[in-house]
Amino acid sequence: GAVVSQHPSWVICKSGTSVKIECRSLDFQATTMFWYRQFPKQSLMLMATSNEGSKATYEQGVEKDKFLINHASLTLSTLTVTSAHPEDSSFYICSRRLAGGSYEQYFGPGTRLTVT
Amino acid sequence: KQEVTQIPAALSVPEGENLVLNCSFTDSAIYNLQWFRQDPGKGLTSLLLIQSSQREQTSGRLNASLDKSSGRSTLYIAASQPGDSATYLCAVTDSGGSNYKLTFGKGTLLTVNP
């Protein structure tokens, strides 16, 4: 069964508003989770690494003040898209990584964001 | 910077055919390589994971090989079925100081025709 859930699965918002996306690890505590963005017909691009109890690490070119990440518990990470614009419309996917061993990542079902 | 390339970008085959998807990566200092399946508008399903010390992994009709020194992996699908139609993504986990991040290819869109 699913080990990572995301909510909502899709959301439509107006330009200038903020949207929060939740990512939950359902079976194991996750000290590290990842947020990806996928544009149509493109591959997944890592946005940031979410670390429980500390600040997220953002990839080059990703605005940390626009994409706020909070990892306040070992099972929940949230991504807030602030002052959303139409160009932020995309498919956002989170993942949880096993600690040590294989470092295998398990992905959530994704959230489709449309900004009008 | 690690780059992952997948060939072909799209592939259409008749049902029952065996097929091979290719993946190449530029930096051989990887920790592992994963193959994923993505259905339209959905998240990713992990198919196979090959550790850097391994040469291949098998799961049912799927077989993935890894040649780390040459920076290549292949995903072999035997006796393809219409339900195999999806986008197949290859991703490598970089070792060392990268915090074990995944770098993805753009995927191969597979269509299996009944």
| A13 Cβ contact list (under 8 Å, min separation 6) | A19, A84, A113, A114, A115, A116
Mean pLDDT over residues B1-20, rounded? Answer: 95
Q: How far is A111 from chain B (nearest CA, A)?
A: 9
> At residue B101, does pLDDT exceed 90?
no
> What token pair was written down for B25?
């990566």
Contact flag B100-A110 (C-beta cutoff 8 Å): no
pLDDT digits (tens, 9 = 90+) for B43-73: 899 999 999 999 999 999 999 999 999 999 9
Q: Which residue of B has its CA nearest to A104?
A: B49
Sign of the four-CA dihedral A67, B94, B72, B44: negative
Q: Which of B31, B41, B103 sits opposite A103 (nearest CB)?
A: B31
B96 pLDDT band, cuts 50/70/90, is: low
